[in-house]
Amino acid sequence: MKKKILAMIPARIGSQRLKFKNLVLINNKPLIQYVIEASKKARVFDEIYINSDSSIFKKIAKKNKIKFYKRPKKLGSSNTRSDDVVYDFINNFNCDIIVWVNPIAPLQTPEEIRKVIKFFKRKKLNSLITTNKQKNHAIFNNNPLNFKKNSRFAKTQDLKPVELMVYSIMMWKSESYLKNYKKNKSAILHGKVGFYPVDKFSGIIVKDKTDLEIISTIIRSSKYKKKIKYYK
């Protein structure tokens, strides 16, 4: 039996670090528009929703022929937890799998969205978060994570990669999410958890003005995935 998969694009109107970032225009498109288009082109979702505390996103949803869900006002503050937003949404919409497509990761592609969902299904996961793999010398609390202090300094290509969560996509089985949330008031990482490493571009998240400038430069150049040419 085919499983019903819903895309949820969360778009809180307030932001402490960069105000109204989902509405910032890049090439005459609001930031959120890029993931809407990628989600539609992926052709893997039964329905796509913008989930927001502000009705301004209802206009964007209507223009793009997708659906809009106005979350309760209490879930629109800077203290709102992702766990609570997902729980509220699943409680209101029947689906087997819920996919959080982050609007502040505008370089995601339809192909990558399809790959993440395919991985989730193949591994029979309960929850998943995307990551970036990096082959860098990594430390935490002044201690090495993937190298030794008193040994020959390793080349970066020889290091074990470290993975950073980037949250461009998160997804869950709805049934197990509800069960774990009711029990623990938390379910972002529950059951059989998977981590999927995405393309470096897909993992760029707009959190502040500097991130926005980087993303804007990449999008406006439109050359970030073209074939590399060499000096002759």
- Three-state secondary structure along the chain? CCCCEEEEEECCCCCCCCCCHHHCEECCEEHHHHHHHHHHHHCCCCEEEEEECCCHHHHHHHHCCCEEEECCHHHCCCCCCHHHHHHHHHHHCCCCEEEEECCCCCCCCHHHHHHHHHHHHHCCCCEEEEEEEECCCCEECCEECCCCCCCCCCCHHHCCCEEEEEEEEEEEEHHHHHHHHHHHCCCCCCCCEEEEECCCCCCCCCCCHHHHHHHHHHHHHCCCCCCCCCCC
**Mean pLDDT score across all residues of the chain:** 91
Q: Does residue 16 have a pLDDT over 70? A: no
Q: Give the model's confidence band at 13: pLDDT under 50 very low, under 70 low, under 90 confident, else very high.
A: confident
pLDDT for residue 226 is more than 70: no
Q: What gap in Å lies between CA 125 and CA 73, rounded to an integer?
A: 32
Per-residue model confidence (pLDDT) at position 225: 58
Per-residue model confidence as pLDDT tens digits over 55-94: 999 999 999 999 999 999 889 887 889 999 999 999 999 9
Residue 151 has pLDDT above 90, yes or no: no
- Model pLDDT, residue 150: 78
* Residue 224, pLDDT above cutoff 60: no
**pLDDT given for residue 194 in this prediction:** 97
**CATH superfamily, domain at 5-130+167-197:** Spore Coat Polysaccharide Biosynthesis Protein SpsA; Chain A (3.90.550.10)
